[in-house]
Each structure stands twice: as structure tokens, then as C-alpha cells.
Amino acid sequence: MKKLLFLFMAVLACNYVIAQQKVYCEIVGTQKFAKSQVTVGIDFGQEDAMRTNALGGVASRNKLVGDDGKPLSFNSMVDAMNYMGSLGWEFEQAYVVTMPGMGGGQNVYHWLLSKYIGENESGTNGFKTRGQYETETAPCMQ
């Protein structure tokens, strides 16, 4: 009887397992001119993903912004990773690309992150990009 009860409970528990999917994003950081801070943008694989400006910087629509719509600044890429880590993202891989330019060029930091999300969850929970902010705050056209 105990075995049958255990088997029943195990089958019942299996019904409550939530399917999770592993998703990836890339954070791209560029250093601010004459400052030590970095500005970070996010690429989730969207169509206009990481278009860059003339200096290789992150396109403004993809920059992380605060509740006021102003770009978030981080002390370093590790600071940005700590922020993303607090939202459940895990580090996968990193590389640096040096864009030609004045003064020897600008380093553009690329960090690949991953996260498991549930069926009704979004990878963007906890932060927003400038594009998302503009969409949310745009006046409704009716």
C-alpha cells in the first residue's frame, strides 16, 4: 500500500512540473567618452537588434533605461553583469571588439547570458530598454 501511495504521489508531482525554456541575450557595453562608466544595450535577437552608431556604440533603442527613461550607467561590465545576475541571468561567454576610431579605437564588450523562463514569463522581466520605454509611454492613438 505504501508503494502504491508513493507511486501515486510521484505521478501527481510530475503533473505540476513547469516546462522551462532556456533563452539567451547578449549585453553589449560601450565606455562613455572620457569616463570610466559603461552604457549597456541588450540583444534578444530582435530584428533591429544591435544596430550600432558611427562609433560602434549601442543603438539607443536597445540601451537599458531606468523608470524615468534615462540610460542606466554601470561602473563596469561586471557591475552590469551583477545587475543582470540579480534578475536571474547567468554568464555564458564574453568577447571584446575594438572599433577603429580616434585615439586608437573604442572597445565594445559583448557578454552572452542565459536564463530559464517559464511558460508565461518574459526574458525582459525586471528591466526595460529605451524602445520598450518609448512604447509604454507613447500616447494612445484612437
In a domain, 1, yes or no: no
The pLDDT assigned to 42 comes to 87
In a domain, 3, yes or no: no
What mean pLDDT, rounded, does the chain reach? 78
In a domain, 11, yes or no: no
Quick check: 115 pLDDT over 90? yes
In a domain, 108, yes or no: yes
Give the count of beta carbons closer than 10 Å to the beta carbon of residue 41. 25
In a domain, 51, yes or no: yes
Total domain count for the chain? 1
In a domain, 4, yes or no: no
pLDDT band at 55 (very low <50, low <70, confident <90, very high): very low
Range of the domain at 132: 20-137
In a domain, 130, yes or no: yes
In a domain, 99, yes or no: yes
The pLDDT assigned to 40 comes to 86
Quick check: 111 pLDDT over 60? yes
Q: How far apart are CA 122 and CA 124, in angstroms?
A: 5
Q: Is 42 exposed, middle or buried (0-12, 13-18, 19+ CB in 10 A)?
A: buried
The pLDDT assigned to 110 comes to 93
Quick check: 117 pLDDT over 50? yes
